[in-house]
Amino acid sequence: MKVLVTGGSGFLGQEICRQLVARGIVTSSLSRRPSAALERLGVRQHRGDLADLDAVGVAVAGCDAVLHNAALAGVSGPAVPYLATNVLGTRHIIAACRTHGVRTLVHTSTASVVFRPGGLEGVDEYLPHPRRHLAAYPRSKAVAEALVLDADGPELATLALRPHIIWGPGDPHFAPALARAVHAGRLFMPGDGGNLIDTTHVRTAAHAHLLALDRLRQRPELLGGRAYFIGQGEPRPLREIAHGFLAAAGIRARWCAVPARLARAGAAVADVALRNVGSTRTHSLSRFLVAEMLEPHHFDLTAARRDLGFTPPIGFDAALAELTRTAVFARTDHGESPCRTPTTPSVPS
């Protein structure tokens, strides 16, 4: 079997490629930048942008399945860049699959497609997309997910996975952003951090993609056109998660709670100000970011367990211990220390 992974050079994409190669699957990647890690794995690399239909077609040709993982992620910024990558890019993937006779398409969506004010507590896949999203990123991903699921049919079986806050060794998003947000031993965060959040270790997320690939090929009539939440299934208070990630990096910080009303007001002002100046930053203070830091978001994984045979290959505590060992090795081996430049932490959802 020949499988294309879009965004194979990214954090999750590389882990998906590693697991595919370990199973002896001929793996290729479509990314905008080359990856030395993928070269070492023997992954064939196609360079190109999802907005370029010709480049997408070249990468898809000859493949039996596509794992569409590439996306522009962020918590702020204008709609156009997200639409170009997440929506137009997904249209191109679907079109190329149909043109080249690809029978299986697994799409990496996000749990944020259903996020709304008030949060999400143990919700399942029957919860519909909200009428309005708090940012362009979840809105664009909701459109892309709908495109993929609507494309399901006899000639192309499709499925979407909704992982949430992907982390692990090499995480370029959540843990580093927390480390940068620490200043003088203090971590200023919206609320008291008691809201329960589920996360997804990178190996768990990649494992779910391989399960989805197998099961969708075996039972397209059962799984086709469906979306599945993916996570560790171990919701923890945000404060506990943040302190755990910081401790893994060797950082001790005191949680300093910013009142919720003040945080929401500041985020609303920031959204307007950034829009007025035409900012294109994707990881600035925003209403979406503050809402995800103040409110619960965890999910019912029953459908993934039943239909995909999904079980996280590593538990949260074991994964955190692994993250600690990896960070200690990195500091010892390279003499590096975590960056502590003050900034707003971002939530890769």
pLDDT < 50 regions, the chain = 332-349
Estimate the share of the chain in helix, then strand, then coil, as percent rounded to the nearest 5.
45, 15, 40
Which backbone phi and psi does 327 adopt, to 5 degrees?
-65, -40
Residues carrying an active site annotation: 137
The model's pLDDT over 97-122, given as tens digits with 9 standing for 90+, comes to: 999 999 999 999 999 999 999 999 99
What is the spatial distance between Cα 227 and Cα 56, in angstroms, rounded to a whole number? 24
Helix or strand (DSSP H, E) at 19:
helix 11-22
pLDDT at 328: 61
Which domains, from first to last, does the chain contain? Answer: 2-171+199-234+300-313 (3.40.50.720)
> What pLDDT shows up at residue 177?
85
pTM, full prediction: 0.92
DSSP SS3 for 28: strand
Give pLDDT tens digits for 70-107.
999 999 999 999 999 999 999 999 999 999 999 999 99
Could you tell me whether strands 26-31 and 44-47 are parallel, antiparallel, or unpaired per DSSP bridges?
Answer: parallel
Nearest to 142 by CA among 187, 90, 204: 90
The pLDDT score that the predictor gives to residue 301 is 98
Residues 6+ apart with CB under 8 A from 66: 3, 4, 5, 6, 60, 93, 97, 102, 104, 105, 106
Is the CB of residue 99 less than 8 Å from the CB of residue 54?
A: no
Helices (H), 295-344: 302-308, 316-334
**The predicted structure's pLDDT at residue 15:** 98
Neighbouring CB atoms inside 10 A of 14's CB total 24
DSSP state of 113: G
Q: Is 50 left (phi over 0), alpha (psi -120 to 50) or beta?
A: alpha
User: What is the pLDDT, as a whole number, of residue 17?
Assistant: 98
pLDDT of residue 129: 96
In degrees and rounded to multiples of 5, residue 155 shows phi and psi of -90, -25
pLDDT given at position 330:
53
